[in-house]
């Protein structure tokens, strides 16, 4: 008998493993049997390759049982966990974009632990419309006559074009045929909407006459897309918004503005970089404006459509609205977010803006406190320093603008990839960034109450690195 065959003979049966672990695991029998079979298959392959060597059946059974228990635990643990965002990027797409904050989440939890008036009109006692829960707030804050809400901004553009331009032509400047995260391209959204894309101008220069010459009896709309995740500078030109709006209305076709980030107040008034304001686009005369709920608005992922009442009515009646509509959690979070903009404050009390407006000197004080709370050997062993940095808003918002911040910089005698790994497997994971052989923990998007997580993680990191042979 070969050694490999001998190894396989020590494997327990499915029933033996089941009998040993079933009583202390909270999992349905059918699922447990499936996981046991998966583990035995993996062990069989490891034994055949020589990766595993078990001398006797008892050792093998105990090892398999331990591995099955670990496999069950992995399934029962949540795959979505809290992380500390030390990248400095406030609207980090990979980490969930706009943070909601504990206060809003507590209020939402208190509201959604039972039933709500999602589609029930309390005044009439009749069936209501879920979009009417948040639409009045959007109209008040933007100055638009009407509003609709779908699950993201790409869906907002898709639904708008499908409603207003299916089977017809939509004119877009070549300089605005943007691609956003995940290789998601505006031309593809237009194609899926059923509209036909008519490109005008060039990447860097588009003139009013380019639009004029492209308009035909088949033209259903002009689409203006704000290049939220890039800027073209240098030898450039494009028509003024007022010129395009006048041209569209002269030909009795709607003009649509895809704003992207959707900021509801002028960020320059509080020292942030300029970004198109939703109310300004409404006042300028755009017929439909679309933007995101989870970028500079500071709320949940949503696509917001505002504009002329007759057009919004058509959009709301589109059968695709049901496929793209938001659930009660999104609408509730959006409602709580929008109501923050009504208060008598220069800046809405939202976590996104608390992070964006945190002053470098405040961040430096926090960084100093973290360093001073660490044992000297940790600071020395990890070679921790405090450094002024620049970060970005994220998610395509204010893409060319840098915002001052402060970071703890680690430069121990190990690769920065090793530091990144140990901090990622910390509980909670600490996500920073690597640069020129060093590892940065930027405090711009770290809540003050999360500073302690960083302190503990750094002590653990030092201990792990010290224990390495």
Domain borders along the chain are 3-76, 84-92+355-467, 100-348
Q: Does domain 100-348 have CATH number 3.30.950.10?
A: no
Of the candidates 216, 222, 220, the residue with the CA atom closest to the CA atom of residue 238: 222
Task: Look at domain 84-92+355-467 and name its CATH class.
Answer: alpha beta
Can you give the pLDDT of all 469 residues of the chain as single tens digits?
Answer: 445 555 678 899 999 999 999 999 999 999 999 999 999 999 999 888 888 888 788 888 999 999 999 999 999 988 899 999 999 999 998 999 999 999 999 999 999 999 999 999 999 999 999 999 999 999 999 999 999 999 999 999 999 999 999 999 999 999 888 776 656 788 999 999 999 999 999 878 899 999 999 999 999 999 999 876 556 666 778 889 999 999 999 999 999 999 988 899 999 999 888 888 999 999 999 999 999 999 999 999 999 999 999 999 999 999 999 999 999 999 999 999 999 999 888 899 999 999 999 999 999 999 999 999 999 999 999 999 999 999 988 766 666 678 999 999 999 999 999 999 999 999 999 999 999 999 999 999 999 999 999 999 999 999 988 875 4
Looking at beta carbons, which pairs linking 315-318 to residues 24 or more positions away fall under 8 Å? 315/148, 315/159, 315/160, 315/163, 315/164, 315/288, 316/131, 316/148, 318/159, 318/162, 318/163
By three-state DSSP, how is residue 265 classified?
coil
Query: What is d(CA 91, CA 98) in angstroms, rounded to the nearest whole number?
Result: 5
pTM as predicted: 0.88
- How far are the Cα atoms of 76, 297, 406 from residue 376, in angstroms, in the given order? 39, 42, 21
Burial class (CB in 10 A: 0-12, 13-18, 19+), 273: middle
Query: What is d(CA 353, CA 346) in angstroms, rounded to the nearest whole number?
Result: 11
Query: What is d(CA 267, CA 454) in angstroms, rounded to the nearest whole number?
Result: 30
Of the candidates 159, 161, 178, 144, the residue with the CA atom closest to the CA atom of residue 256: 161
Can you state the percent helix, strand and coil of the chain, rounding each to 5? 45, 15, 35
Tell me, yes or no, if the two domains 84-92+355-467 and 100-348 fold the same way.
no
Task: Name 342's Cβ contacts closer than 8 Å, sequence gap at least 6.
Answer: 137, 140, 141
Per-residue pLDDT at 181: 61
Three-state secondary structure string covering 385-454: EEEEEEECCECCECCCCCEEEEEEEECCCCCHHHHHHHHHCCCCCEECEEECCEEEEECCCCCHHHHHHH
Query: What is d(CA 59, CA 10) in angstroms, rounded to the nearest whole number?
Result: 8
Per-residue pLDDT at 7: 66
CB atoms within 10 A of CB 322: 7
Task: Name 204's Cβ contacts closer than 8 Å, sequence gap at least 6.
Answer: 175, 232, 234, 235, 236, 237
Per-residue pLDDT at 469: 44
- How far are the Cα atoms of 25, 148, 168, 228, 255 from residue 194, in angstroms, in the given order? 52, 20, 8, 24, 17
DSSP per-residue letters across 174-240: GGG--EETTTEEHHHHHHHHT-EEEEES-SSB--HHHHHHH--TTEEEEEEE--TT----SS-B---
Task: Name 19's Cβ contacts closer than 8 Å, sequence gap at least 6.
Answer: none
User: In the structure, how many helices (H) and strands (E) does the chain have?
Assistant: 19, 15
Q: Which residue(s) pair with 120 in the sheet?
A: 127
The separation between CA 176 and the C-alpha centre of its own chain, rounded to angstroms, equals: 23
Query: What is d(CA 201, CA 234) in angstroms, rounded to the nearest whole number?
Result: 16
* CA dihedral of residues 187, 189, 190, 191 (deg, nearest 10): 90
């Amino acid at each position: 008998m070969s050694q490999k065959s001998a190894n396989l003979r020590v494997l327990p049966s499915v029933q033996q493993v089941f009998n040993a672990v079933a009583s202390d695991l909270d999992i349905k029998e059918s699922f447990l049997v499936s996981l046991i079979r998966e583990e035995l298959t993996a062990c069989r392959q490891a034994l055949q390759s020589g990766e595993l060597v078990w001398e006797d059946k008892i050792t093998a059974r105990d090892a398999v049982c331990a591995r099955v228990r670990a496999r069950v635990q992995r399934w029962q643990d949540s795959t979505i966990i809290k992380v500390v965002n030390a990248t400095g990027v406030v609207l980090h797409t990979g980490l969930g974009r706009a943070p909601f904050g504990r206060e809003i989440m507590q209020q939402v939890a208190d509201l959604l632990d039972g039933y709500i008036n999602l589609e029930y009109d309390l005044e009439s006692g009749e069936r209501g419309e879920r979009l009417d829960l948040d639409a009045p707030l959007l109209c008040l804050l933007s100055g638009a006559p009407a509003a609709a809400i779908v699950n993201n901004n790409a869906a907002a553009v898709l639904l708008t074009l499908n409603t207003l331009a299916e089977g017809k032509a939509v004119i877009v400047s070549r300089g605005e045929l943007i691609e956003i995260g995940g290789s998601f391209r505006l031309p593809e959204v237009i194609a899926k909407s059923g509209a036909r894309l008519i490109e005008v101008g060039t990447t860097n220069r588009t003139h009013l006459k380019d639009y004029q010459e492209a308009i035909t009896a088949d033209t259903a709309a002009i689409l203006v897309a704000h290049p939220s995740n890039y800027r073209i500078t240098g030898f450039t030109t494009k028509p003024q918004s007022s010129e395009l709006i006048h041209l569209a209305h002269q030909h009795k076709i709607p003009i649509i503005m895809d704003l992207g980030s959707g900021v509801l107040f002028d960020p320059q008034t509080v020292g942030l970089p300029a970004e198109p304001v939703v109310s300004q686009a409404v006042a300028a005369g755009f017929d439909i404006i679309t933007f995101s709920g989870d970028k500079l608005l500071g709320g949940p992922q949503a696509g917001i459509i505002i504009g002329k009442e007759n057009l919004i009515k058509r959009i709301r009646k589109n059968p695709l609205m049901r496929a793209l509509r938001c659930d009660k959690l999104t609408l509730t979070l959006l409602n709580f977010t929008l109501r923050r903009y009504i208060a008598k404050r220069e800046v809405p009390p939202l976590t996104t803006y608390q992070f964006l407006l945190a002053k470098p000197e405040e961040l430096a004080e926090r960084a100093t406190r973290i360093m001073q709370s660490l044992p000297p050997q940790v600071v020395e062993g990890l070679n921790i320093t405090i450094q002024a940095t620049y970060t970005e808003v994220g998610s395509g918002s204010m893409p060319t603008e840098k915002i001052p911040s402060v970071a703890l910089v680690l430069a121990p005698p190990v690769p920065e990839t090793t530091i990144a790994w140990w901090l990622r497997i910390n509980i909670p994971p600490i996500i920073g960034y690597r640069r020129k052989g060093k590892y940065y923990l930027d405090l711009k998007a770290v809540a003050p109450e999360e500073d302690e997580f960083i302190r503990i993680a750094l002590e653990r990191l030092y201990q792990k690195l010290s224990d390495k042979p």
